[in-house]
Chain A
Amino acid sequence: MAGSTLEFREIVEAHQARVYSIAYRILGDRGTAEEVAQDVFLELYRAISSIASDEHLTAWLRRVAVHRATDALRRRPRALYGAAEFADWMAKLSHEAASFALASEVEKLLLTLPPTQRAVVLLRYQEDLAPPEIAEVLAMPLATVKSHLQRALKSLRAGAQDRLKEYTRRG
């Protein structure tokens, strides 16, 4: 039993950065991101006997982390979805009113994207997955993944032009 627990802890430590980063960058909120990341590992603990390989484990974690984070986003207070609250969301869009503790300009820009586009960008640039692999993780048609990626890059570049002059010069 001790061996199993130790091995599981090693798995957590090996993958916590990946899982937490996905959750944080989709949610933009450290507290909720940590809760979601914990839930992912608890679910892994229950499902561990069905994991067949290291590759399977990584793919499983990516898929579950993305789904739990986007679910958590949907379950947020309906403030973002009522007609009267759109103006509040508009204020948040201005970044100056953002209530999240953000580490980088790129992460701020990421939060201006719809959740699914955020997930696709993270799987592409944080996890280095090719579009067909992203389609598999998200159970989404490849054409839709490519469309999401194209739109996301367009939005990010437009935002980056204003905000990232220093970053792009560093190259």
Chain B
Amino acid sequence: MDEHEEFERLLHRELQAREAPAGFSARVMALLPQTPAAAIPQTAPQRFWLPALRWTAAALALMGIAGGGYWEHQRMERIAGERARGQVILALHISAATLHDVLHKVVKDTKGDTE
């Protein structure tokens, strides 16, 4: 096993979820509002596709009515916009992280100089 895999195993091991403080659930229940919540729904996996089916039908009808050209243009612009947004977020993230790394080095070296 190489060092990287060994390190990942260490992280998996050390970051297993820790226990919540004793009495946590009782404290949560005590904070619940007096009026009951809606009934806890049963697990109903078949509900998943119902909203999706409704949306798909609506989308198809809309596309049929409105005509292809205008919507296609809108769709392409939205795709391009989302891609651009992703690029911006990535660029800002890299900028922040690079700045953070540099400043972290400065702090580390400053501490080293004064120790």
Contact = CB atoms under 8 A, between A and B. Distances in A.
A5 interface: yes
A166 to B, nearest CB: 11
Interface string A84-96: 0000001001100
Contacts of B47: 52
A99 interface: no
Interface string B24-54: 1101110111001111110111011000000
B21 A34 contact: yes
B11 A53 contact: no
B11 A121 contact: yes
B63 interface: no
B7 A160 contact: yes
Nearest to B48: A52
Size bin of chain B's contact surface: 35 or more
Contact of B16 (A24, A126, A140): A126
A38 B31 contact: yes
B28 A144 contact: no
B89 interface: yes
Nearest to B92: A144
A98 interface: no
Contacts of B93: 116, 144, 147-148
Contact of B94 (A7, A51, A147): A147
Contact of A25 (B15, B43, B94, B100): B15
Contacts of B28: 12, 16, 38, 41-42
B113 interface: no
Contacts of A143: 86, 90
B69 to A, nearest CB: 29
B2 interface: no
Given A4-B39, A38-B31, A153 B86 contact: no
A155 to B, nearest CB: 8
A114 B100 contact: yes
25 contacts: A4-B36, A4-B37, A4-B38, A12-B28, A16-B25, A17-B18, A19-B20, A21-B17, A34-B21, A34-B24, A45-B33, A48-B37, A52-B41, A52-B45, A52-B47, A90-B111, A105-B14, A124-B11, A126-B16, A144-B86, A144-B89, A147-B93, A167-B10, A168-B7, A171-B9
7 closest cross-chain pairs (CB), A and B: A106-B14, A16-B20, A49-B38, A141-B86, A20-B20, A21-B17, A17-B17
